Amino acid sequence: MSRKIIFVMLALFVLFTGIQFAAAYTPCDTQVNDTHGKLLACVTLEGVREHQAAFQAIADANGGIRTSGTPGYDASANYVANKMAAAGYVVTVQPFDFNTFILLGPSTLAQTAPNSVVYVEGPDYRPMTQSEPGNVTAAVTAVDLQLGLGNNSTSGCEAADFAGFPVGNIALLQRGACTFGLKAENAAAAGASGVIIFNQGNAAGRFDVINGTLGAGYAGGIPVMFANYYLGEAWATTPGLVIHLMANVFRGVATTYNVLAESPGGDPNKVIMVGAHLDSVNAGPGIQDNGSGSAAILEVAEQMHLVTPRNKLRFAWWGAEESGLVGSTYYVNNLTPEEQSQIALYLNFDMIGSPNHVFFIYDGDDSDGVGAGPGPEGSAQIEALFEFFYAKQGIPFKGTDFSGRSDYGPFIARGIPSGGLFTGAEGIKTAAEAALWGGTAGIAYDPCYHQACDTYDNVNTYALDVNSDAVAFATLRWAKAYTLPGSGQRGSNLRSLAAPVYDHHDHEELFEQ
């Protein structure tokens, strides 16, 4: 969104809301954006996309990734820290060590006998996440395979599957019934020098290569590749098969960082935290996941740099989220009891511009959920504020569970009211959702989720624009509020929002200029 059209937008805003502006528009970099009218006009898609472009350029200069523990992540953290320091925030860069898995470069999978065949990384195979590095050439032994549609493969799930396994061979295993990590550990215990696990091939969607993980606790000590079903089926019937397998990966302890930026003003006993993870996966630059949330909160923070909030603002860019919420967990676990009690609420923004988007709100009261349960006391009021925002814009919205897959998890575990927005990951868009929000039913909300194609172009700019405004709206609302969530009042509908969240001190028109 160009700043040149802000005057037109503001005029339309007046037309549709009936709000009268008392003063002429002031340039965004010099005015105090302390009302929603001013702030939402200054938080622009153009500004958010500028930060996403910077993240893309950083990835391009660092092997195509921004994974925690790599130079691409370090450069991303430096970029954010410098922007926040320039905007006048008190910046803290919090280092921590973590167990990580990093792709160092291309790996190799090739048949050396009975014929010479070199396979293609990506469509044919890929190293499994948390594989050990290794370079092995050995005969291949198939283990308890069950081929064909409708199969019920349990290949490698029991130690007994490996009875008589030739020590030093590569184990050929099939997906199904138990974790990849267990299969690989059973193979290692039987003396395998490496493992290839191929997709199950039992039903549609289980034929191609996936970005599977052995789990952070994998203890097999040998390299593991994942291959498509078609290759696995062919290898299973190839006598004298010898494979060369080289996993070019790092698995071990690395240092990475959280970046925290705090407003100089505001009540330190009432801290409003706004967070997004900054790291990408190994597969690509992560400009949607989560360059969308990271860029949006960065733009909002910059446009609020002259605001003196009633409640202290603390923006957070988390490291190592893709390794299991490591950065946010480290942060929360290292708070003193007093510091924890000062955090009034946490807002999380992870993937807010998915190409095939739905406008999801984290379900604070569990009214829309399927079993994850409500958030801590006060989370319903956070949900209600986002419901209010979308309703005011005439945009449909939908609840989504606190599934534990993003950085709200450690805050919820400590009883801190939490909420946020999400536009979908690998889940499949339904026909009903396509009717409400457009897009394509039957494919993922983000078809490039955790893939190399999660680039600057992998963004729905309409969804990102709307949600960047929603981030700004909620951040300023809570920064200025006298009454904060967690006071024992619950309820997530729009009627409940009007009474418990805002008291008689706080009657600013929600979109007042």
Asked if 416 and 340 count as a contact pair (C-beta separation under 8 A), the reply is yes
195/186 Cα distance (integer angstroms):
10
List phi, psi (to 5°) of 77: -65, -40
Asked about 299 being catalytic, the answer comes back as no
CB within 8 A of 510, min separation 6: which ones? 36, 388, 392, 473, 477
List phi, psi (to 5°) of 479: -65, -30
321/280 Cα distance (integer angstroms):
8
List phi, psi (to 5°) of 194: -165, 170
Task: Quote the strand ranges of 22-89, DSSP E.
Answer: none
Asked if 510 and 36 count as a contact pair (C-beta separation under 8 A), the reply is yes
461/449 Cα distance (integer angstroms):
16
Q: Annotated catalytic residue: which of 321, 383, 387, 433?
A: 321
- Compute CA distances 417 → 307, 380, 384, 447, whole Å: 24, 8, 13, 31
- Compute CA distances 154 → 197, 213, 388, whole Å: 12, 17, 49
Q: Which helix (H) or strand (E) holds 100?
A: strand 90-103
341/332 Cα distance (integer angstroms):
11
Beta strand 249-262 pairing with 311-318: antiparallel
User: Among all residues, which ones are annotated catalytic?
Assistant: 321
